[in-house]
Amino acid sequence: MGANLFTIKHLVGRQAELNQVSQVLATDGDLLIAGVPGSGRRTLVRYAAERVDARIIEIDCLRATDSDRFLHLFAEGLLQAFESAAERSLIQQWSAQQPIRLEHTADETQLVWHESTDEWTLLEALLGLPQTLAEWLICRVVIVFQNFPHIRSWDRSQEWENYLRQEIQRQPQVSYAFIATVAESWVQQSELQVVLLGPLKSEDLQPWLEKVMATQGLTLEPEALALFLDYVQGNFGDAIALMRRLWQNHRLTKIAEVNRFPSLLRDSSQASLPSATSPNLIQLEQVHTSTLALVEDLARTFEALLMLLPPSQVRLLESLALDPTDSPHSREYIQKHHLSRGGGLQGAISSLQQKGLVYGSEYGYRITMPLLAFWLKYRLA
């Protein structure tokens, strides 16, 4: 139950980015939000859509294993965004002139079509529906494509990808938001606004951290707080994981202390458990040991991840973990860590960026997952 306290209930930091995205959506613009998983990309676009009172249709292209699945995911997203009886009635009215119909069953309502219907016809119809509803309801609509490049796994000729890019320019009341790890080259040639999400600043993460810990009556001493922020390096997902582990360890410690001193259960006048310091004060050593325990639990996951990477990329990750640098291309760094030269090194860096494992030059080529970096350094050292 307590672990659920460490879920995101509001936007942490990102105020400048929220203002930027909100402004784009308010003018029916289109954008790409680039950042590593866990950086708050989806949360950001959802908050921005809510701020400008826009309906949001989300399609996770990672789940679209083929074109038919893509169409069904799009249809599901549409009905989730427009779910009132009045809105469904408008969709029913629209479907009278389309190869798609709204079907009601006892359990759910679906947009369905005949299997023999041409997929391009279906795609055009589904893409046109948000614009139609926006005009009828006098509202804004945001279509969010998560993991958009994944459609290339079945869209080999990129026909669907190119068509979707063209649609961006055709619908004045519908905004497109692409969520990706990095901004690909085609984005630079488009009119998409690009919003880059780097690691959170410590001054943004710290107030949220202290507030959430305080809800459990916990406080981090200054040195422990500094170490915590250093270990998570602005990664919100890692911060939540470490907070949860600290909270769990604290509970176990209190249970152990109570078992050692059962008289405390009978004497309510006791202010605290026997301890040299307050039992609710998290100390530096507790942060370190909790981090060690956490990465040990994650070790198999990290090992499996490394097994999927070519040796050149593993070597680069290990080097960045042991010896962080903003100049991995320098001759000295290459020689020191026996890295491949020229195109081989650049290819490893680019591939790790695409996978969301390493930031680009704007953030000093840091490993994006601080707990992975901690584990690598701990294992190698």
Residue 1, pLDDT above cutoff 50: no
What pLDDT, on a 0 to 100 scale, did the predictor assign at position 356? 87
Residue 271, pLDDT above cutoff 50: no
Position 301 confidence tier, pLDDT thresholds 50, 70, 90: very high
What pLDDT, on a 0 to 100 scale, did the predictor assign at position 269? 43
Residue 40, pLDDT above cutoff 90: no
Distance CA 84, CA 80 (A): 9
Q: Does an H or E element contain 33, and which? A: strand 31-35
Residue 157, pLDDT above cutoff 50: yes
The answer to whether residues 321 and 380 touch, using CB atoms and an 8 Å cutoff, is yes
Answer CATH for 2-197 from 3.40.50.300, 3.40.50.720, 1.10.645.10, 3.30.930.10: 3.40.50.300
Mean pLDDT of 236-242: 90
Got the DSSP string for 276-292? SS-TTEE-HHHHHHHHH
What pLDDT, on a 0 to 100 scale, did the predictor assign at position 258? 58
The residue extents of the domains of the chain are 2-197, 202-264+277-380
- Average pLDDT value for the chain: 86
**Residue 211 zone, left/alpha/beta (φ > 0; ψ -120 to 50; rest):** alpha
User: Which of 53-67, 180-194, 289-303, 348-362 has the weakest average pLDDT?
Assistant: 180-194
Mean pLDDT of 294-316: 94
pTM: 0.78
Mean pLDDT of 200-224: 90
Q: What percent of the chain has pLDDT over 70?
A: 91
Position 5 confidence tier, pLDDT thresholds 50, 70, 90: low
